[in-house]
Structure 1
């Protein structure tokens, strides 16, 4: 027999699970859950990387988008494991712009969230580089990216600046980079993949011209959900535990 307390607890669990999808009422949670069930009919549900693929499909509204994700590491699950570990270690989540920061859920973790944009104004004025690139370089000088989850959803120049920082020795826990657009977006993600592979930094990116802050936040949120499930003992994020 289900008690009122059981129903309330179940509702709270569902709210935590789907809050990042905009679900804050019972009806909204049912819609979000049904939507994810539909996604799982088209996207495998066997690995940690599959969970990220599912979230990308849900975020983009495109079943084929699952094939556009790229996972940089020894295997596809490595960046998901690294991101989940960083969440459990309460690492800082750094985003390039306000929109990406706003999309990262505040539930299920104790990580600080901060954005790069707004930093490096003097450097941008002096050099003429974009505000986001200057902001990334300024935060790197502060050591903000070390062992952090770095999420870039909008600015290709931010991704290129981060790649330069990694090449020079900066080591984030994981990079999520899905900058969108027709100018330098694809090139910036490719450079992130190449530099991260060379330097041993786990990364999740995509190919093609699509992407954006919503996608980047959604993928970061899935890292948080994986960490939450690991915390509850529902899965292991240790390599070889699958």
Structure 2
């Protein structure tokens, strides 16, 4: 199956939370007592498998929860002086109501609508003329078009599906764009691992905090889940249960 990006289809993202924004924020998007019990039990089991000491551990836990694989915690990579740095940068961007920009619709659909006031937008659908003129993928062209408009500066930049979007974002960073944080988990057998490696190297060279993973696995649901955890950390910082260094 092909996605709207024209690249390898990812796993399905979790459905967007369409609950009223005035409802009390609940971790994992649960709103009913039964849903909260399931969510809490699920995360309790994850915490038995993954350390629970740092903010980076929360991202590792979310990766295990999103994939259902305890080994995935060892595939997550953090770019920065400390593993916590991208988590702190992402939470601060959320608290500052910076845009969350995804590569495709599927990732955007998985971003929770509660716990933040960030505008959430997708890149796909922009840059069609550039794609047609150059022959590059629609997702790469859409990233370049939004970058031309300055959308990615100080934003939470999320790539969950398209390796070429990750490669384009790396080019943008190399040319001077500075997202607040990058979350990149493009999936597939062609260019996926390589695109994440390049993004890590470029982000490290230019001081851009990033959360990525190694290997072929990844996808829209994982990217959305990790981004939602940045929202959860920001919410916890807002109510004083987490201190951001």
Q: TM-score, normalised by structure 1?
A: 0.91
Residue matched to 2:187: 180
Give the C-alpha shift of residue 27 in structure 1.
1.4
Pair 1:100 & 2:100 matched = no
Give the C-alpha shift of residue 32 in structure 1.
1.3
Residue matched to 1:16: 26
Pair 1:213 & 2:220 matched = yes
Give the C-alpha shift of residue 47 in structure 1.
0.1
Q: Which runs of 5+ in 2 are unaligned?
A: 1-22
**C-alpha distance in 1 between matches for 2:35 and 2:132:** 45
Pair 1:76 & 2:86 matched = no
Give the C-alpha shift of residue 24 in structure 1.
3.7
Residue among 56, 61, 69 paired with 2:63: 56
Q: Which digits, 9 at most, give the CA deviation of each residue in 1:123-164, with x for residues without a partner?
A: 000000000000000000000000000000000000000000
Kindly tell me the number of residue pairs found equivalent between the two proteins. 223
Give the C-alpha shift of residue 58 in structure 1.
0.3
Give the C-alpha shift of residue 26 in structure 1.
2.0
**C-alpha distance in 1 between matches for 2:39 and 2:27:** 10
**C-alpha distance in 2 between matches for 1:83 and 1:143:** 18
Give the C-alpha shift of residue 44 in structure 1.
0.3
Question: RMSD in angstroms over aligned alpha carbons?
Answer: 0.9
Relative contact order, CA 8 A, sep 6+: which one is greater?
2
SS of equivalent to 1:109: coil
**C-alpha distance in 1 between matches for 2:38 and 2:163:** 34
SS of equivalent to 1:51: helix
Q: TM-score, normalised by structure 2?
A: 0.90
Which of the pair has more CA radius of gyration?
1
